[in-house]
Homo-oligomer: A and B are copies of this chain.
Amino acid sequence: MLHSPYLQANPSLHVFLPLFYTVWSDAILTPSEIATIEGLINSQGWLTKSEHDFLVSQLNPAAPPTADELMEWKDEIKNAAELTIGKTLVDIGIKLVELKGGNVPVEVLKAKPSLANIEATLGFISHEATFNFQSGGRSTVTHQQTTQKTFDVNAMTRLLDGKNAATIRKVKTIITDPEFQYVDPSNLDAYRERVLDWCRLLAGQGFGAMAYPKEYGGQGDMAAYFAIMETLSYHDLSMVIKFGVQFGLWGMSVYFLGTEKHHKKYLKDIGTLDLPGCFAMTETHHGSNVKGIETTATYQHATKTLVINTPHAFAKKDYIGNAAKHGQMATVFVKLIIDGKDYGVSAVVVPLRDKKGNTMPGITIEDCGRKMGLNGVDNGKIEFKNVIVPVENLLDRFAGITDDGKFTSPIASDNRRFFTMLGTLVGGRIGIPRSGLSAVKSGLTIAIKYSDQRKQFGPEGAPEVPILNYRTHQRRLMPLLANAYALHFSLQYLTDRFINRTEEEMQEIEALAAGLKAFATWNTTATLQECRESCGGKGYLSENRIDDLKNDTDIYTTFEGDNTVLMQLVAKSRLTEFKQEFARMDFFGILGYVAEQAATSISELNPITVRNTDEEHLLDPTFQLDAFKYRERDILTSAAKRLKRHISEGMDSFDAFNVAQHHLVQVGFAYIERMVLEKFIEQVNQTTDAGCKAILKKLCDLFALSQIDKNKGWYLEQGYMEGVKTKAIRKLMNQLCWDIRQEAVPLVDAFAIPDSCLAAPIVVGK
């Protein structure tokens, strides 16, 4: 067409060139498109018969232009487009006519609206077409998104580190030492030995004994211990778990379940790692249901000894960290049998190996072998056959044996004793989510920094765009960044509560720890999955470490209590508080209370509020927190009513809890979500640095709104919000993601993770 003498002779026909090009170059040329353009040509009265026929002949699908011809068209059109002010293909066509020295006949100008109509008729996609001819480098909104920094990164790091800044700095110094270079996890033996070496180096720094009393080589500083666990978790997670098994589980079980004689005998050597040990609670057939464990410790009064036995193959202690290779002793959880009577779950210190590593008589240990992750930890299975230990090995803070061979305990109820014993071990449910959060911070740092650099696609002719500028990518990563900040403050709060606990608060703190552990570790799994996918193939290469971060932490949702079981535990604890409110009322009082709850709920559903889409309202912490609290209270009340109804109707309580189980998990979520938001809002309020405060407010808003969005089905079902409001929330979330994207890199920089720990070549270079 372009070189046809006919076109040269009739330059005004060039007005159609951009349209023809668009149709021919489009990936799909449909018969209806051809028909539409033929209709257009037919409608142009100013064309001569011969001009008309020429144009129609150029639309023959059997005689397309060649590739070379199309390229030349494009060059011509592009040239004209750069000189064109208008935005339509006709505008470009008119310029082309001018450039070709033709007159733009008045008819063409008159035809502009009908030509423009055609573009509309061909659908919005041909609107795009004009952009195809723009020269590169045009600045689109998408392009304009770049990394900025409106806050002081160091100030944010100080805010995150808080009182533990010195400890955190010290740990970072240690783990960036060349001794701590990562090793290949594929050689199981070498990896396990290296991890043990690392733990020894850490013990040498006094990190292991940190929480133990000074008289046993420690600092009595539990806060520092948790900060250490958290900071170590920027490095190899097998090392962290081995560290936690030794100093946390093994050491703390001796400390909390034992008495002074045990502390004196073991604690110092545990803190230096001279006495590597295990925490042998789980059995193959009993994990979540610890009360059901079957290993027995039978008291023999004549010899003042306990005989430890594994009754059958499925009662072996299973998945026990430090057992397959290094453990020399273990806190073994047993059923304590005295005079043929079962006194419930107790703990006994049992030697497993001598100093040379030889297994003790009566003890058989199998290696659990390769796992999905944490392969630097030597998990094993332990079987006991008539293993005899002196009665002094009974960790007898809560369950002892008197000199005349009787059971003794400060807590009569075996139920209550059991929960008290387990309650002392709640520290694990703090350490694990904090470790998981560090893995999340590493993952987000890698994924966000990579996405800020990685470019893919762009407007025609313009440079490609960083993938973090794409909305879907922002929607994947920004809410998770907000979650990470939210959980940082909540886990800090939980730690503070645990450290400053009173006896009365224990039940609440246990529920908080159980729920936060579940919420945070599920968030870890979900976040690292998104990080992997966000980095595409690079995320799949082990060198970029998302592999290990993901696989090592995958078990965190099971560790220290299966998350689903924990969320039910939270729900039961919440119901108990509910029950305590009930206990102050008579039966009619209860009915009244329930009715009142319902009434309150309805009065909150102000028809203006449920439809309020003002940004100011949606970003108001009072609105946000009210919504979370309403959900928390309503779900709890409805769960209680539901259970009550089932049981009143004669259902076995076990069945009633099972039927409502899914509901109960939601009770746990609603409680934890409210708590996390509350602490985040408090943090924003108490932040004094203006830059930090502003970005934290945005993150807090994104956390609040994305949780509401996650639960919007529930809010809409309840009539607490109407569709206009949930839609406005979604829109605002998009905007917040867009805003936070600019600060995303500084926000992960504030985690201040050492490069040698991140190690991913896509972020820190090879």
Contacts and interface: CB of A to CB of B under 8 A. Distances in A.
A687 interface: no
Interface in A103-126: 117, 120-125
Interface string A54-86: 000000000011111111000000000000000
Interface residues of A, number: 145
Interface stretch (A284-292, A300-308, A488-496, A676-684): A284-292
Contacts of A660: 471
A358 interface: no
A413 interface: yes
A580 interface: yes
A415 B23 CA distance: 11
Contact of A537 (B558, B647, B718): B558
Contacts of A292: 456-457, 464
Interface stretch (A267-275, A325-333, A540-548, A622-630): A540-548
Contacts of A141: 651-652, 655, 658-659
A470 B341 contact: no
B652 A459 contact: yes
Contact of A457 (B24, B289, B469, B584): B289
A142 interface: yes
Contacts of A286: 456
Nearest to A458: B654
B371 A541 contact: yes
Main secondary structure of the interface of A (DSSP, over half): helix
Contacts of A289: 456-457, 464
Contact of A117 (B475, B551, B586, B712): B586
Nearest to A186: B186
A562 interface: yes
A501 interface: no
Contacts of A576: 28, 123, 125
10 contacts: A27-B416, A67-B411, A70-B413, A142-B652, A287-B536, A372-B547, A459-B652, A533-B563, A536-B562, A540-B558
Interface stretch (A29-37, A243-251, A695-703): A29-37
Nearest to A710: B713
Contacts of A186: 186-188, 370
A413 B117 contact: no
A146 interface: no
| Centre residue among A30, A369, A372, A557 by max chain B CB count within 10 A | A372
A472 interface: yes
